[in-house]
Amino acid sequence: MKTSVAHLEKHALDANTGVFFPEGIVGFTEHKEYKIVAEKSKAPFLWLQSVDNSELSFIIIDPQEFKPDYNPLLSEVDKTALDVNDIEECQFYAVVVVPKDTDKISANLLAPLVINKKISIGKQVILQNQNYSVQHLILEEMLKRSGEKDVSSFAQTK
């Protein structure tokens, strides 16, 4: 999905939401500085935009938006890397994949992006011994919570 940085910045809720990933993101370890950009018309989805490469951005979402019982556990190693004592000090985001069949939009709940809210340091963590998927179907989860039966009717009405 291509969107210009200028377009995203114009719609940003807070253009100063910078995040530093010391280890980069899996597959993109050379890119360490990002901005979180919110385009109001795309809520609850956000963009994680590389600061040094305008062609690199990820669609992300707070898992609590569609899975309120999402409760990941961080290892002590991850807590140390993020300089946190408790997950309450963190903001979690899942990377979103939007396939051609948009009914199958999914989020990676097994390897969330975790950000220390106080110092804006982030890390993509791989959760251990937890029952989460790398392709958790977002609309399907929303359907379970709403009582709807058909993904396509849900997607069109929401």
pLDDT score recorded for residue 157: 42
Q: What span, in angstroms and rounded, lies between the C-alpha atoms of 119 and 17?
A: 11
pLDDT score recorded for residue 129: 78
For 21-77, write each residue's pLDDT tens digit.
999 999 999 999 999 999 888 999 999 999 999 999 999 999 999 999 999 999 999
For 95-123, what is the mean pLDDT? 96
For 2-14, write each residue's pLDDT tens digit.
444 443 343 333 4
pTM attached to this predicted model = 0.82
With beta carbons less than 8 A apart as the criterion, state whether 62 and 52 touch: no
For 122-152, write each residue's pLDDT tens digit.
999 999 878 899 999 999 998 888 876 555 5
Q: Report the relative pairing of strands 57-61 and 121-124 from DSSP bridges.
A: unpaired
CATH class assigned to 5-157? mainly beta
Enumerate the domain spans of the chain.
5-157
